[in-house]
Structures are given as structure tokens and as C-alpha cells.
């Protein structure tokens, strides 16, 4: 009698384990975005001269946008995003910036001006400095997150005067990021 009850209990337990394994809760899109973003930041070749943005669709499709300085970075980042739990498909729309000594010189000079300024030493000391300097054919775009509007305006003013064709300031403050 106990043997029959024990076998029946094991069968029920096995059936319930199988059913629960099939019903895996979907990961929330925000968590998937955070995981992909963390993976991008941890990529050893991701620098302040690269910028990648992540958007996750309802069905787990990850859309990557932004710009990187080398083609292999685009490929590596796309592959790493596809390995994250909850990502079912990756649409890699990241642009590869053209190779140019002029652009490279602008990147370095602007980075020195911004991160060499005492107001930005705290940012430069971070493992992943938050201000990114994207230079495409002489056009500069500043992206990332800073503490205040004053920091945003100062970074823009420090990025001017190096022979750039234009400067677009897409820096956001911590408060703006929290409100979105």
C-alpha cells in the first residue's frame, strides 16, 4: 500500500516538475536592457570613443544603435548581446565610424580637454567614464550621463575649438535619466 502511494506521489511530483519547467516566466525588458548594457560596458575594447544604445522589443528582439570605432567591435557587441537571457534576436544597427587620422586626433584632443579639466576628474576616475566622444568626419557628438546641467554645458564648451565642424551635445543629467 505504501509502495503504491509512494509511486503515485513520485509520478505526481515528476509531472509537476515537468509542468513548472515549461512555464518559465519571461524576463522583464528592463532587466534584459540592463544585462545587455552591462555586457557592453564590460566589453574590454569598449572605450569613451564608442557609444551603443539598447532597446528591447516585446518579443525579446534587441536593437543596438550607436557608433563604434572598429568593425570587430560591432560584431563582438552584437554577439555578446545575443547571449543574454531574454534576447531572442539581435538587430545590430551600430555604425562603424570611418578610419581617419583627423577624427582620431579630434577624439584625443577633446578627451584630454574634458577629462583633463578638474571638474571632470571624478568622471575620468570611473572604471567606465560616462562621457563618450563620437567623432564622425569632423562632427563631434557628446553622449552619456553627467551629474548636472552645469557639467553638461562645461563639457560642450571644452569640446569646442579643435577644428571640429560641429558639436552636438546629447549629454543627459542623472535627473533626466531617472525621469525616463
DSSP string, the chain: -HHHHHHHHHHHHHHHHHHHHH-PPPPPHHHHHHHHHHHHHH-TT--TT-EEEEEE-TTSEEEEEEEESSHHHHHHHHHHHHTSTT--EEEE-PEEPPP-HHHHHHHHHHHHHHHTSGGGHHHHTSSS-SEEEEEETTEEEEEEEES-HHHHHHHHHHT-SSS-SEEEE--EEHHHHHH-
- Which of 64, 67, 97, 98 minimizes the C-alpha distance to 78? 64
Of 96, 117, 141, the last residue of a domain is 96
Number of domains in the chain: 2
The domain boundary, picked from 76, 96, 116, lies at 96
Q: Is 35 inside any structural domain?
A: yes
pLDDT tens, residue by residue, 110-157 = 999 999 999 999 999 999 999 999 999 999 999 999 999 999 999 999
- Does 23 fall in a domain? no
**Does 15 fall in a domain?**
no
Q: What is d(CA 68, CA 50) in angstroms, rounded to the nearest whole number? A: 4
pTM for the whole thing?
Answer: 0.81
Say if residue 132 is in the same domain as residue 162: yes
Model pLDDT for residues 37-71, shown as the tens digit of each residue: 999 999 999 999 999 999 999 889 999 999 999 99
Amino acid at each position: 500500500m505504501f509502495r503504491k502511494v509512494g509511486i503515485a506521489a513520485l509520478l505526481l511530483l515528476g509531472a509537476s516538475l515537468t509542468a513548472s519547467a515549461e512555464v518559465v516566466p519571461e524576463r522583464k525588458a528592463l532587466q534584459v536592457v540592463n544585462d545587455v548594457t552591462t555586457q557592453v560596458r564590460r566589453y574590454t575594447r569598449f572605450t569613451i570613443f564608442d557609444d551603443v544604445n539598447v532597446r528591447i522589443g516585446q518579443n525579446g528582439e534587441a536593437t543596438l544603435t550607436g557608433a563604434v570605432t572598429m568593425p570587430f567591435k560591432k560584431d563582438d557587441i552584437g554577439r555578446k548581446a545575443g547571449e543574454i537571457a531574454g534576447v531572442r534576436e539581435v538587430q545590430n544597427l551600430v555604425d562603424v565610424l570611418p578610419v581617419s587620422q583627423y577624427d582620431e586626433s579630434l577624439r584625443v584632443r577633446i578627451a584630454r580637454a574634458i577629462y583633463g579639466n578638474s571638474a571632470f576628474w571624478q568622471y575620468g576616475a570611473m572604471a567606465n567614464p560616462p562621457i563618450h566622444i563620437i567623432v564622425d568626419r569632423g562632427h563631434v557628438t557628446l553622449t552619456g550621463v553627467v551629474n548636472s546641467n552645469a557639467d553638461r554645458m562645461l563639457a560642450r564648451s571644452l569640446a569646442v575649438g579643435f577644428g571640429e565642424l560641429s558639436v552636438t551635445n546629447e549629454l543627459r543629467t542623472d535627473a533626466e535619466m531617472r525621469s525616463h
